[in-house]
Amino acid sequence: MLKATGDRQGTFEIRQNGELLTTFQKKLRFQLAGKEYAIRRNNAIKPFYSLHHDEAVLATAEHTSILRSSFHISHAGRTWTMKPEGFISRLAGLYADEATKVGSFVPKSYFFPSKEIAIDLPPEISLEAQVFLLWVFLRMLEARSSD
């Protein structure tokens, strides 16, 4: 399980078992274990994000609909759906299919959801892809709060 803590300037620290893994600022780049990763946005109308290391695409997140705050996630040959847990909920789940929840993003506070977030994802999702999914979750929170 990962834990993300954010400050008012938008800087996030990602920790696993108390150990600092990486720090990022909602920008499109981060470092993890000495490697540089980039997140790219590929479509303005229906967002499609991809995680890259060098030129390799490691994971993707495709917005499912303009009307819904959910994403189809692809990583390591597998697919999932990330979606909010309810209409006004700040929680999100990762689903293997319509009913099978396999992971979650749980903000500690409803009113300050990006201050502290618990991220519980399956072990087959690499750490760099988990950081990418946290970034996608933060984008989801921003979009839902501006609705």
pLDDT in the model for residue 27: 73
pLDDT in the model for residue 7: 86
Q: Is pLDDT at 50 greater than 50 in this prediction?
A: yes
pLDDT in the model for residue 47: 80
- What CA–CA distance (Å, rounded) separates 2 from 15? 6
Find the mean pLDDT for residues 77-88. 88
- What CA–CA distance (Å, rounded) separates 7 from 24? 11
Q: Is pLDDT at 57 greater than 90 in this prediction?
A: yes
Query: How do the domains of the chain map onto residue ranges?
Result: 2-145
pLDDT band at 147 (very low <50, low <70, confident <90, very high): very low
CB atoms within 10 A of CB 48: 16
What are the tens digits of pLDDT across the range 8-38? 778 889 999 999 999 887 678 899 999 999 9
